[in-house]
Amino acid sequence: MTGTGTGIAMSLADVAGQLESGMTIGIGGWGSRRKPMALVRAILRSGVGDLTVVSYAGPDVGLLVAEGRVRRVVSGFSSLDSIALEPHFRQARQNGTIEFTELDEGMLHWGLLAAAHRLPFLPIRAGLGSDVMRVNSQLRTVRSPYADGEELAAMPALRLDVALIHLNRADRRGNGQYLGPDPYFDDLFCLAAERAFMSCEEVVPTERLLAAGPPQSLLINRAMVHGVVEAPGGAHFTSCVPDYPRDEEFQAEYAASAATPQAWQDFRARYLSGDEDSYRQAVRQFRGRPAAPARTGPP
Amino acid sequence: MTGPGMTGPTLAEICVVACAEAWRGDGAILAGPMGLIPALGARLAQLTFAPDLLVSDGEAGLLAPLLAPSGSGTVTEGWLPYRSVFTMVAAGRRHVMMGASQLDRFGNQNISCIGDWARPKAQLLGVRGAPGNSINHPVSYWLPRHSRRVLVERVDMACGIGYDRAAALGAPGNRFHEVRVVVTNLAVLDFRTPARTMRLRSVHPGVPVGDVLAATGFPLTVPDEVPVTRRPSAGELALIRDQLDPAARRERELR
């Protein structure tokens, strides 16, 4: 390992310890793709609740909602991709146990961009004429001050207390690299947040970053994040290509856990009652593989 | 392999071609198909009469308008992550074919929830990008189950906006709004009426007009002569069956 100092390496529990009830947290990835699931599981192990969660939502939101940690979801959808509807989110909406700020996907992008740019809002055409304006009574429109005079939706900044993202590689100073096809909006989530924490599949020495991908794969720079956690399998069961695809069998097991309250209790007892190592072990048992020794923390 | 003795087109294959026709004449814009049959339609259009069309691989890749030398693979010609898709949406360089849990006579679409939004009877996908799509560029719809439950008097949550809402919005905000066509398992519909309400454009081969009217939850404008949706050509059938969907997954989308 080269570089100065010890970097900003943290543990999953360290990150969870930075969160407080009532915070607004943003979660990177998209649907059931490259979600910081190990960090989400760390939140579940902490006592944090009453969260507002901003996300292109998938099982990250589903798990937090199922455990009653969420007051409000801010999103345009909630999906497991290969399973169209996120079952726990769906149930929470139908039971009226969460509040929902339902936005067009592009509005969510614009709200993050406004926050990242420290602007109060950004004008956007999306939303006009639709019921997004009806169900979000706080949304306003703004008129162009120029000759066109066009009226547009004024998407307010989505400022975050904390952002959580998961990338393929990072160094211990906070430079992060994605190796899959899409950066999603992870950089914007970080810049929209007071503090951002990045988990990754593997922490590598800085000089090894470019061995894995070109310079433009270095999506996150160290000015964007405040902590790095090495969490192999940290996006499981969402996809983290090219390291691993979505674990469809396990995702189906997760989706089935929304069927009855007992099914959820069984799921959380089996997979969420211990630390990340015991989660991995339980997943290996589910997949019928012999339990291998777990990797330890950052090198 | 298909050949001169190939069997006639299935309903799913007729629907693939009807979806493909939605993009005819669009030029070099991004096709946004939601669902397998629209995806096959977009790719079929790109490989035949609309080679300028941009087609996503379902992740962040763009498929070139050609088949790989192996015959059935694909060639990637570009990169289009979500952030760039949003820019293409706002730039108007896109024509999407979305699904709809509810669609009304003006083309208002709902994919968000059924019942009262505050406490829905059924939470569905959410609005996704439908509001932004419908205000920025042409949208079409694919309905694999044409029924009164889907084609309704009034949608519970307007995600993609229809012609009445676009009219209420007025100019210049509504200038990019267009609902192009609605392809269902029974028929093709459009909005070419004075009030911009839904009109029967063609019925699929063998479907009586009365069946379409009975399965629609509002009055449809019906022309004096209702055309029949065109059948796939032999070349199109061969492409669909041998190259684009050899496992015939398209048939399952209509069950």
Which of B81, B86, B124 is nearest residue A106 as measured by Cβ atoms? Answer: B86
- Note whether B60 contacts A96, CB cutoff 8 Å: no
Copy the structure tokens of residue B141.
Answer: 């719809």
Q: Are A220 and A175 in contact (CB under 8 A)?
A: yes
- Note whether A135 contacts B135, CB cutoff 8 Å: no
- What was the pLDDT predicted at B68? 79
- Note whether A106 contacts B60, CB cutoff 8 Å: no
Chain B contact for A73 (CB, 8 A cutoff): no
Chain B contact for A84 (CB, 8 A cutoff): yes
- Find, among B55, B14, B53, B27, the residue nearest to B142 by Cα: B14
Copy the structure tokens of residue B156.
Answer: 């519970």
- pLDDT tens digits, one per residue of B38-65: 999 999 999 999 999 999 998 999 999 9
Most B CBs within 10 Å, among A73, A125, A148, A217, to test the B interface: A125
Side by side, the strands of the sheet bearing A151-156 are: A121-124, A151-156, A140-143
| Residue B1 clears pLDDT 50, i.e. is over it | no
- What was the pLDDT predicted at B4? 57
| Residue A6 clears pLDDT 90, i.e. is over it | no
Chain B contact for A53 (CB, 8 A cutoff): no
Chain A contact for B125 (CB, 8 A cutoff): yes
- Note whether B161 contacts A129, CB cutoff 8 Å: yes
Chain B residues touching residue A181 (CB < 8 angstroms): 59-61, 79, 81
- Band of the pLDDT at B72, cuts 50, 70, 90? low
Which of B123, B129, B174 is nearest residue A105 as measured by Cβ atoms? Answer: B129
Copy the structure tokens of residue A74.
Answer: 């801010």
CA distance, residue B124 to nearest chain A CA (Å): 7
Helices (H), B113-227: 130-136, 163-169, 209-214
| Residue A2 clears pLDDT 50, i.e. is over it | no
- Note whether B157 contacts A126, CB cutoff 8 Å: no
- pLDDT tens digits, one per residue of B98-116: 999 999 999 999 999 999 9
Q: What is the mean pLDDT of residues B161-177?
A: 97
- Note whether A77 contacts B126, CB cutoff 8 Å: yes
- What was the pLDDT predicted at A237? 98
Q: What mean pLDDT, rounded, does chain B reach? A: 96
Most B CBs within 10 Å, among A33, A130, A150, A240, to test the B interface: A130
Chain B contact for A152 (CB, 8 A cutoff): yes
- pLDDT tens digits, one per residue of B127-149: 999 999 999 999 999 999 999 99
- What was the pLDDT predicted at B71? 59
Chain B contact for A178 (CB, 8 A cutoff): no
**Of all residues in chain A, what percent carry a pLDDT higher than 90?**
93
Q: Are A175 and A200 in contact (CB under 8 A)?
A: no
- Note whether B131 contacts A109, CB cutoff 8 Å: no
- What was the pLDDT predicted at A295? 47
Q: What is the mean pLDDT of residues A18-42?
A: 98
- pLDDT tens digits, one per residue of A255-286: 999 999 999 999 999 999 999 999 999 999 99
- Band of the pLDDT at B2, cuts 50, 70, 90? very low
For residues B227 and B21, give the distance between their C-alpha atoms in angstroms, rounded to a whole number: 15
- pLDDT tens digits, one per residue of A186-231: 999 999 999 999 999 999 999 999 999 999 999 999 999 999 999 9
| Residue B207 clears pLDDT 60, i.e. is over it | yes
CA distance, residue A178 to nearest chain B CA (Å): 13
Numbers of helices and strands, H then E, in chain A: 11, 11
Contacts of residue A193, defined as CB under 8 A and 6 or more positions apart, other chains included, come to A26, A159, A160, A161, A162, A163
Chain A residues touching residue B176 (CB < 8 angstroms): 125
Q: Which long-range contacts (CB under 8 A, 24 or more apart) does A66-71 make?
A: A66/A92, A66/A257, A66/A258, A66/A264, A66/A268, A67/A268, A67/A272, A68/A97, A69/A43, A69/A44, A70/A98, A71/A22, A71/A98, A71/A99
Q: What is the mean pLDDT of residues B149-162?
A: 98
Q: What is the mean pLDDT of residues A61-84?
A: 98
- What was the pLDDT predicted at B244? 95
| Residue A1 clears pLDDT 50, i.e. is over it | no
DSSP codes of every residue in A56-116: SBSHHHHHHHHTT-EEEEEES-B--SSSSS-HHHHHHHHHT-SEEEE--HHHHHHHHHHHH
- Band of the pLDDT at B5, cuts 50, 70, 90? low
CA distance, residue A113 to nearest chain B CA (Å): 11
Residue with tokens 């996704």: B128
- What was the pLDDT predicted at A286? 95
| Residue A4 clears pLDDT 80, i.e. is over it | no
Q: What is the mean pLDDT of residues A169-191?
A: 98
